[in-house]
Amino acid sequence: MVLMKEQELIKEHFDKIAPEYDAWKQKNAYYYDTIKAFVHRCVRPGSRVLEIGCATGEILNATRPAYGVGIDVSPKLIEIAAKKFPEYTFINQTVENYQSEEKFDYIILADVIHHVYDIMTVFEKVYGFCHPRTKILITVINPWWGPFLKVMEKFKAKTPDTLLNYFERRNIGKILELLDFSVVQMGCLLLLPKRIPLLSYLANSLGVKLWGINKLSFVQYMIVQPALKNTTDLGLGCSVIIPCFNEEENIVDAIKRIPQMGKRTEVIVVNDGSLDRTAEYVKGMQKEKRDLRLIDYKPNKGKGNAIREGFEAATEEIIMILDADMTVAPEELPRFFEPLNKGICQFVNGTRLVYPQENQSMRFLNQLGNKVFSLIMTFITNQTLTDTLCGTKAMYKQDSKHIHMGLDKWGDFDLLFGAAKVNSKILEVPVHYKSRKSGRSKMKSFRHGIHLLWACFMGFRELVFIPRPGLSE
């Protein structure tokens, strides 16, 4: 239902701008010409090419295919494309609903994944259109340019847009690894998206290759290809830990919506000194739900302690955490289970900073602080982390035995530091972050931010500042 609503909003938006779409492209010709030159350079002429989100067909035409197919959610854009390039096939359809047995040599997603509801669903679908040698060309807008793009749009200096997902190429690479794709090449296309004589040439031919400077690139690209399908099934079970404090209005729904994963899924609710009827509701559900357990104690000792209690009680091989407030939907938990059950990684971290958030469910200060802590934690752990405070995480129970809890009162940093310390491979799964169904967040931006800075300092001492032999002598 949510997917259909999002698709309808995107369709309506692009139908609205369709009559002026080519005029907008002409206004930003330097940018679009660069994208067309990129695909022309990468695609061998005379190939079978599929473009997802083809708009008016200009990019597909730039590949000079022997057989070209373009699909787009907007019927009005498809109508324009079919008139301009009748030699190709244009289909009004979303990629999620597009049905075809055809295989293509090249698949193009130029600035498209910013507009999809779920990137993992899209690439699961794309895999079916690939043969072993298919190359997939992806371009994305650097998320650091997001605020500037909004200003440009207000001054009518760029094409009007809908709410965007923002991905960095490294994040996309991590996600694609979960979905049986391998990265062939990645790089930067544009530092300056507008033509400025000589300066644009230097920036976009040399600057994009200079480390540090290229991180400011407006457009990033990736070329990926399908890998062998990972059919591994380690036959593992799952223990879902729900730490909660005063969540009587959410706990029943949270438990009911948890899907079955692996050979067995047990749910362990840790009632962390609640003053309401949370424990009572869980006890009532135990009569009909055999694999539901309750750990109940007083007084409140904090989320980190609740997680530790749940980990110790877990009996299955994979353990994961779900917040009772359902800001992350329980239905998304299989995305955390599968990489561990396939042995792809040893730790899965959720990230809420990819898709648009429902009703500004994360306050601005919290979002800003989260991005700062993500940069700090990426430096300390030497792993790419975009959201350190997402409550949804998963790992192997045997690895949890080597993690010391207590540094961070919520447990998020303890788990990430612990995973890094034992050299676990951490991958991130994007989640759709929703508003709380009821109740209030327990996070206080400033006071808790100071606590997390202290936790970062302690983690730095443990993971980065390693005493050299002889220094203590």
Looking at the structure, tell me whether residues 393 and 355 fall in a common domain.
Answer: yes
Of 226, 254, 282, which one is at a domain's C-terminal end? 226
Write down the number of H helices and E strands in the chain.
16, 14
Q: Which residue has the tokens 């530091």?
A: 417
Q: Is the dihedral of CA 22, 23, 25, 29 positive or negative?
A: positive
Q: How much is the pTM?
A: 0.85
Q: In whole angstroms, give the CA distance from residue 334 to residue 313.
A: 21
**Structural domain contains residue 472:** no
Looking at the structure, tell me whether residues 156 and 192 fall in a common domain.
Answer: yes
**Structural domain contains residue 420:** yes
User: Mind listing the pLDDT tens digit for each residue in 51-96?
Assistant: 999 999 999 999 999 999 999 999 999 999 999 999 999 999 999 9
User: Mind listing the pLDDT tens digit for each residue in 9-68?
Assistant: 888 888 898 899 888 888 889 999 999 999 999 999 999 999 999 999 999 999 999 999
Looking at the structure, tell me whether residues 142 and 85 fall in a common domain.
Answer: yes
Looking at the structure, tell me whether residues 175 and 295 fall in a common domain.
Answer: no
User: Mind listing the pLDDT tens digit for each residue in 343-388?
Assistant: 999 999 999 888 877 765 566 666 777 778 888 888 888 888 888 8
Looking at the structure, tell me whether residues 331 and 205 fall in a common domain.
Answer: no
User: Mind listing the pLDDT tens digit for each residue in 188-215?
Assistant: 888 888 888 888 888 888 888 888 788 8
Of 174, 201, 226, which one is at a domain's C-terminal end? 226
Looking at the structure, tell me whether residues 204 and 351 fall in a common domain.
Answer: no
pLDDT of residue 141: 86
Looking at the structure, tell me whether residues 29 and 159 fall in a common domain.
Answer: yes
Of 170, 205, 226, which one is at a domain's C-terminal end? 226
List the beta bridge partners of residue 396.
318
Domain containing 219 equals 2-226
Looking at the structure, tell me whether residues 267 and 216 fall in a common domain.
Answer: no
Looking at the structure, tell me whether residues 206 and 259 fall in a common domain.
Answer: no
Q: Which residue has the tokens 């135990």?
A: 286
DSSP-derived 3-state class of residue 275: coil
Domain CATH number, residue 215: 3.40.50.150
**Structural domain contains residue 232:** no
**Structural domain contains residue 473:** no
**Structural domain contains residue 469:** no
Looking at the structure, tell me whether residues 221 and 331 fall in a common domain.
Answer: no
Domain CATH number, residue 334: 3.90.550.10
Q: In whole angstroms, give the CA distance from residue 169 to residue 217.
A: 11
Please answer whether residues 223 and 42 qualify as being in contact, where contact means their C-beta atoms are separated by less than 8 angstroms: yes
**Structural domain contains residue 263:** yes
H, E, C per residue of 54-119 = CCCCHHHHHCCCCEEEEEECCHHHHHHHHHHCCCCEEEECCCCCCCCCCCEEEEEEECCHHHCCCH
For the chain, the domain total comes to: 2
User: Mind listing the pLDDT tens digit for each residue in 401-454?
Assistant: 888 876 677 788 889 988 988 889 999 999 988 876 655 555 555 556 676 777
List the beta bridge partners of residue 188.
220
Looking at the structure, tell me whether residues 123 and 154 fall in a common domain.
Answer: yes
User: Mind listing the pLDDT tens digit for each residue in 285-294?
Assistant: 998 888 999 9
In Å, what is the CA distance from 19 to each residue of 22, 28, 76, 154?
A: 8, 16, 8, 19
Looking at the structure, tell me whether residues 292 and 180 fall in a common domain.
Answer: no
